[in-house]
């Protein structure tokens, strides 16, 4: 392990991780405030609020500039609570982590309308969730009032636009070469997606090893045009998961990037914009 690693830790572990780069998580705002008092704030990459309390006033004046991520558990019912957190934007960048569960799209749209960044937390979505993801992707790409990034769409679109593959493991902050997740029992794993699963071998090269394992087994990843960006992300934990739905999302993003590139070239030719 190196000092450049970022550790996602429960707030109760803050003393053990002083001097390291951390993401601090807790369901209680006062616990997070305590942590921010105990460490150098430039070592805190962001803080995760693990529920949606009504009162977050403790966080408004504490650690100004430290990003806050608000994690929804049931986005279909919790979306209206996001209105309680607009005051946080005055002192913190705010992102809403939304699990792709049935009805999540309303939460995503409300979060964007409130100028929150959005991170969609994906597992292995079924056909119904793929359809809902397609709707959110269309919203992200085509609504003129969308000014905030919606991940993983945003970084993947830029990746296609720049012709520079970026791993979905990195976008999702689940590449253990860079980020480690400390379980509540103190054991390290890759991310909360991996809690409850046994990971064999060292964590630092897991993404490469897992990808090579999928390729060697001649699974769907072999020959997939999006493997350089996905790296088998959607094959965890069930390697037999059918990626046809997520490939549709990637194709839409690739097509949108190509259209954007053509539009920009036309504007440059007309002299209306400069070469970026």
Structure confidence by residue, pLDDT tens digits, 261-270: 888 877 776 6
Using a 10 angstrom Cβ sphere, with 0-12 exposed, 13-18 middle and 19 or more buried, the burial of residue 249 is buried
Q: Give the Cα separation of 104 and 161 in Å (integer).
A: 27
Structure confidence by residue, pLDDT tens digits, 159-201: 999 999 999 999 999 999 999 999 999 999 999 999 999 999 9
Residue with tokens 């608000």: 70
> Domain boundaries in the chain?
6-257
Residue 3: phi, psi to the nearest 5? -65, -15
Structure confidence by residue, pLDDT tens digits, 6-59: 999 999 999 999 989 999 999 999 999 999 888 888 899 999 999 998 888 889
List of residues 6+ apart from 211 with CB closer than 8 A: 221, 227, 231, 232
pTM (two decimals): 0.92
Structure confidence by residue, pLDDT tens digits, 87-115: 999 999 999 999 999 999 999 999 999 99
The percent of the chain in helix, strand and coil, each rounded to the nearest 5, is: 45, 15, 40
């Amino acid at each position: 392990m190196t000092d450049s690693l970022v550790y996602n830790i429960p707030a109760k572990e803050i003393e053990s991780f002083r001097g390291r780069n951390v993401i601090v998580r807790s369901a209680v705002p006062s616990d997070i405030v305590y942590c921010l008092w105990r460490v150098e704030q430039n070592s805190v990459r962001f803080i995760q609020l693990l529920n949606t309390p009504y009162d977050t006033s403790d966080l408004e004046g504490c650690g100004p500039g430290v990003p806050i991520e608000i994690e929804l558990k049931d986005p279909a019912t919790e979306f209206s609570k996001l209105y309680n957190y607009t005051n946080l934007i005055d002192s913190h960048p705010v992102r809403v982590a939304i699990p792709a569960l049935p009805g999540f799209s309303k939460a995503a749209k409300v979060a964007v309308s409130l100028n929150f960044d959005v991170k969609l937390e994906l597992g292995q979505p079924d056909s119904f969730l793929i359809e809902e993801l397609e709707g959110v992707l269309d919203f992200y790409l085509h609504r003129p009032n969308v000014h905030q990034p919606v991940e993983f769409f945003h970084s993947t679109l830029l990746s296609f636009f720049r012709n520079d593959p970026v791993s979905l493991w990195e976008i999702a902050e689940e590449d253990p070469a860079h980020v480690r997740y400390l379980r509540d029992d103190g054991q390290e794993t890759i991310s909360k997606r991996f809690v409850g699963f046994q990971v064999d071998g060292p964590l630092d090269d897991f993404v490469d090893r897992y990808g090579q394992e999928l390729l060697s087994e001649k699974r769907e990843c072999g020959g997939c045009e999006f493997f350089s960006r996905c790296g088998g992300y959607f094959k965890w934990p069930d390697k037999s998961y059918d990626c046809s739905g997520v490939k549709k999302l990637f194709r839409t993003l690739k097509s949108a990037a190509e259209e954007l590139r053509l539009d920009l070239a036309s504007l440059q030719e007309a002299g209306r914009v400069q070469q970026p």
